[in-house]
Amino acid sequence: MIAQNAHYNEKMASVYEQMYPIGFDTDAAVEYFSGMLKPEAKVLELGIGTGRIALPMAERGFRLHGVDGSEAMLAKLAEHDTESVVTAVLGDFTQPDLDMGGDFDLVTLVLNTFFVAVSREAQLNCLRNVRDQLAENGRFVLEAFDPSPYHVMTKPDFSMRYLNETAIMLDTMMVDRSQQLMVATHTIVDGGPPETTQHVLRYAFPLEIDLLAELSGLKLVERWGGWHQQPYMASSPRHVSVYERVN
């Protein structure tokens, strides 16, 4: 496998909100973030996408900034953000020296987006960028799946995803345990010519992320099994992990 990622193109951006609808933990995540913040706090979302999290947060009065590597996703965000309440830029948060102005009360990285950094160095770059952008007492919240069930896969996994009455997505996933890489191939069938997109993720286990965070000047504050702050256990499929700067 070649660890080379691709950003969401226009076709994938057009169905993203069907893949992850507003009800996909959005309300719970927004409530969780809001409970951490003072009014008008400054928030940075890495991988802001179409604004699933950012727009409801901005509606609550928080100052939202974001970065995303996909022009098509940012175009969708602009369509939704008719009053320009979110400041979003095109950029790669897995490269060194990301400059978003710093002094953020909260930096977020949700829905497995950390794993788009497809090497250990890229993940370290991401976490160093987070550390540099956080205010002194700021918090960093990372949400991701626990990769244990995928790490034992020995053959490709095939699935079908319903998008709407006229479209489905065919997914194929392969895992290279030696590099902790997942390669997902998405084919959209909607009556037109089928379009296929490939994405690569480098998964990391929670304790591995903690170590990378420590190397980047961050330390774990708490970890939950989801946005409702349920306990994180061996059987938890996901985790919400909160970090702070090491000053």
- The per-residue pLDDT for 9 is 55
Q: Note the pLDDT tens digit of each residue in 155-185.
A: 999 999 888 888 888 989 999 999 999 998 8
- The per-residue pLDDT for 7 is 57
The answer to whether 10-146+204-245 and 149-200 have equal CATH topology is no
Fold classified for 10-146+204-245: Rossmann fold (3.40.50)
DSSP string, 48-85: -TTSTTHHHHHHTT-EEEEEES-HHHHHHHHHH-TT--
Count the residues in the chain: 247
For residues 133 and 139, give the distance between their C-alpha atoms in angstroms, rounded to a whole number. 10
CATH placement of domain 149-200: 2.20.25
> Per-domain residue ranges for the chain?
10-146+204-245, 149-200
| Mean pLDDT across 211-217 | 98
- The per-residue pLDDT for 102 is 95
